[in-house]
Amino acid sequence: MEEKKFVFKRSFSDGAIRELILNENFLKFADKDFENPYTIFEKNEIKDYRFGIRWIRFELTYGREYQIYIRNVENQVIKLSFKSYFGRKKQELHNLYVDVLDDLWERYFSNIVDELLKKYENNEEFSIADVYFKKEGIELNISGIFNQKRVEIVWENIRTKAYHTYFSIYSTENPAELNRGYNYKEDWNTNVLYSVLRTILKRKGIKKHK
């Protein structure tokens, strides 16, 4: 796969040209204004990511900030962001946002999904965020009225529902109480969680999920 380079400015107030380089071995981003401006994550160090759009408001909405956060195993974070005000370059920046996400998925995070699915097929237990995958099903935190509780849902009862900015996991036994939402912008690796969970459900022939 050929190396991919993206070049952009973050905003009017930060006019510096920021360069993002993605290849099969590392991720490299010019996020500093020093002699050596690059932060580098080796591919095997990349752990998780989250992404979304922050609406810029003051009495009315006048802009948007596209945000992508990438974290490594040492919990260092690279933040990619670029802003559109009053619709200026909105389509151009939206296309940039989509292209970067597609490349991140193809080069790094789809591989993480594949490795986790191999673990599941080998009866190994693992976690994505707070969701613990086991042979019998999953464990996750559910918010109650006063506190959180840890619950287990067996595979036959697991269903998902996809929305634009998040997706939910729920149990067919008690969907009103046994449910949890995961936000792509706020929660790390929601896209990885969604892909792994849906793939397992599909392989098990559990069709009633979206």
**pLDDT tens-digit series, residues 100-148:** 999 999 999 999 999 999 999 999 999 999 999 999 999 999 986 678 8
Separation of alpha carbons 210 and 203, rounded Å: 14
> In terms of DSSP bridges, do strands 77-85 and 126-128 run parallel, antiparallel, or are they unpaired?
unpaired
Q: Could you read off the pLDDT of 173-186 as tens digits, one per residue? A: 999 999 999 999 99
Separation of alpha carbons 169 and 186, rounded Å: 16
Axis crossing angle, helix 190-203 with helix 110-121, rounded to the nearest 10 = 40
| pLDDT attached to residue 55 | 85
| pLDDT attached to residue 205 | 93
At the second CATH level, the architecture of 4-110 is: Roll (2.30)
> In terms of DSSP bridges, do strands 38-42 and 26-30 run parallel, antiparallel, or are they unpaired?
antiparallel
Looking at residues 43-55, what average pLDDT do you find? 96
Separation of alpha carbons 73 and 89, rounded Å: 35
3-state secondary structure of 150: strand
CATH 2.30.29 occupies which residues in the chain?
4-110, 125-203
Separation of alpha carbons 40 and 77, rounded Å: 11
Could you give the angle at the alpha carbon of 153 between the alpha carbons of 149 and 155, nearest 5°?
A: 160
Q: Are 78 and 39 in contact (CB under 8 A)?
A: yes
Q: Are 126 and 133 in contact (CB under 8 A)?
A: yes
11-15, 31-35, 49-53, range with greatest mean pLDDT: 49-53
Task: Burial-class residue 139 by CB neighbours within 10 Å (0-12, 13-18, 19+).
Answer: middle
Separation of alpha carbons 76 and 85, rounded Å: 29
The pTM assigned to this predicted structure is 0.90
Decide yes or no: CATH 2.30.29 for domain 125-203: yes
